[in-house]
Amino acid sequence: PGVTSKETGATATARYLDGSGGTDWPGYGRTFGEQHYSPLAQIDRRTVGRLGLVSWYDIGPENSATQPIAVDGVVYFTTGMSVVRAVDVRTGKLLWTFDPEVGKYGGKEMRQQWGTRGIAWWKGRVYTGTVDGRLVAIDAKTGKEVWSVKTTQPGQFITGAPRVFRNKVI
């Protein structure tokens, strides 16, 4: 599972279009229009009773006030101090964890933050804003940091989900 970093801008964009098929949820609100709506029609009044648990992953007692994203059978989400995880939706297996070490970079005043509300995916990378004010790109397949940029002044932080548009992360 997972995506390839060789994906083109056109195919990455197609995942975000309001009229896309709904198999992926690559960003906050699923689409560029942030509709928070899935057009998938397999579950309805007749089929909902046949639903069952396929897999699960216990995130523990950390704060999880985030909107997860899902691309190619992998769910990505952030908890607590901007820690990002990737989980295989079919098995519930943890694929990787990325810890941006917010306490180390932000100092002890950042240790009581609620965390971020979401992340974004674009062309094989997961983007997160950290509670110490960095924007970080993570390789979606490996969980390794690709780059990190400080975007705020000391004491300020990012809590909102990044948005991707025209090859830019906002």
Predicted pLDDT of residue 90: 92
Give 34-66 pLDDT, tens digit per residue: 888 888 888 899 999 999 998 888 887 777 778
Q: Which among 146, 134, 148, 59 has a CA at the least distance from the CA of 103? A: 134
Give the span between the Cα atoms of 55 and 2, in whole angstroms: 17
Confidence at 114, pLDDT banded by 50, 70, 90: low
What residues contact 152, with CB distance under 8 A and at least 6 apart? 133, 158
Give 153-169 pLDDT, tens digit per residue: 877 777 788 888 878 88
Instruction: Report, as an integer, the average pLDDT of 80-92.
Output: 91
Instruction: Report, as an integer, the average pLDDT of 106-123.
Output: 73
Instruction: Report, as an integer, the average pLDDT of 123-130.
Output: 93
Confidence at 95, pLDDT banded by 50, 70, 90: very high
- The b/e string for 30-50 (b: 16+ C-beta within 10 A; e otherwise) is bbbeeeeeeeeeeeeeeeeee
Predicted pLDDT of residue 131: 82
Using an 8 Å Cβ cutoff, are 5 and 141 in contact?
Answer: yes
Give the span between the Cα atoms of 86 and 91, in whole angstroms: 12
Structure tokens at 151: 């975007």
